[in-house]
Amino acid sequence: MIVPNGGPKLRLVEAAERLFAENGFEVVSVRDITQAAGGNVAAVNYHFGSRDGLVEVVMTRYITPVNEERLARLDAAEQKWADQAVPIEEVVDAFVRPLITQVEKSELSEQLFYRLVGRIFGSHGNAIPAGIEAQISVLIGRFTQALGRSLPTLAQEDLVWRMHFVVGAMIHMLTHGESLMRLSHGTAGTPTMEATLERFLRFAVAGLRHGVMSQQADPAVVSGHSDDGHRPPPPSANQAPAPITPITPIIPIIPIIPIIPIPPSADQAPDDGHRPPPPSDGGSNIDSGGAVLPGDHDAGGKGEAVPKPGKKRTRKVEQDSPQVMFEF
C-alpha cells in the first residue's frame, strides 16, 4: 500500500489518524473522517476503495517503520554477540525502543502517536490488514527465536505466552498512560516516555526471566545432565539459604533427684526403732515433762492405756523406714 505524500488523499489520512488515535478504529465513521478533512463522503471510496483501505494505509504508515526498526535492531544485537545468546534486556529493548525513535518522525503529537500505535497493535481479527499481519508473524518468529536462545530452559509454550503478556502490557502502556496519570491523582507523576520505557523494560525482563534465572546459571541443569540425575534447582538470587540444623548429640540425660531426709521433731523418740505413736484426736496422755497421765484428757476422750512398769511398750507402725521428700 502506497502512502500518499500530499494533496486531498494525505489530508484524509491525517484526519483519520487523529480520529483513530482519539476515539479508536471502531467508532470513527467515514463521514467523521471526510468532515475533519474538509471533503465529501465519496472521497474515501475514490482514493482508498473503502474505509478498510484507509485503515490499512494508516496502519502501514505507522507500524511498518516500527517493525522494520525492530528487526534491524535485533539483527545488530545478534551480530554483536555473534554465536552467543543475546541478553534478554537487549532483545526486549530492540522490540520496544523503536516506538520512541519513530515518534520523532510523526506529524502527530507524542501523545496521539502512542495512542494510535497502541490501538493498532491492540487490533484483532479482521481489523489487521493482511500486510501488517504478515509483518507481525515474521516479527514474532524472530523475537521468539532470540528469546529462546536467551532462555534455553524455558518451554516453548511458556515462552510464547510470556511474550504475549509482554505485548499486552506494552499496548496498555501506550494506550492508557494518560488515564493512569489522571486516575492516580498525581501519584504516577509526569514521567517522560524514556523513563516509562525504562520502567517497562525492567518489568518485562523480570517477567520473562522469572523462575529460570538460577537454572540458566547452572550448566549441569541447562544441559539436562547432573551428577546423579536428581539435582534440585539452585536457589534463586532472592531466596534465603536453608537454615543449618544443628546436630544434637544423643546422650541420655538422667536427672539426679536428691533424697533429703526430714529431721525428727522435738517430741519424737531417738532413732531406736521404737518411735512413739502420734497423739490421738482426743489429746495426749503425756505431759510436757514426759510423765504419763492416767485416764482421759480434758476433752473427755479415752486415754491410752498406761503400760505396766518394767515392761517395754511396743506399738506397730506402718512404716519403719524414715520419711523422705523428693525434689523434682
Residues 80-91: tens digit of each pLDDT: 999 899 999 999
pLDDT beyond 70 at 301: no
Query: Quick one: CA dihedral 59, 61, 64, 68, positive or negative?
Result: negative
Q: How many residues belong to the chain?
A: 328
Global pTM?
Answer: 0.60
Return the bridge partners of 325, or none: 260
Judged by DSSP in three states, 20 sits in helix
Mean pLDDT of 70-96: 95
Q: Is 82 left (phi over 0), alpha (psi -120 to 50) or beta?
A: left
Separation of alpha carbons 57 and 15, rounded Å: 12
Nearest to 48 by CA among 4, 92, 81, 93: 4
pLDDT beyond 60 at 240: no
State the pLDDT at residue 279: 52
Nearest to 65 by CA among 92, 99, 37, 42: 99
For residues 177 and 172, which has the higher predicted lDDT (pLDDT)?
172
State the pLDDT at residue 258: 47
Q: Cβ(24)–Cβ(119) under 8 Å?
A: yes
pLDDT beyond 80 at 119: yes
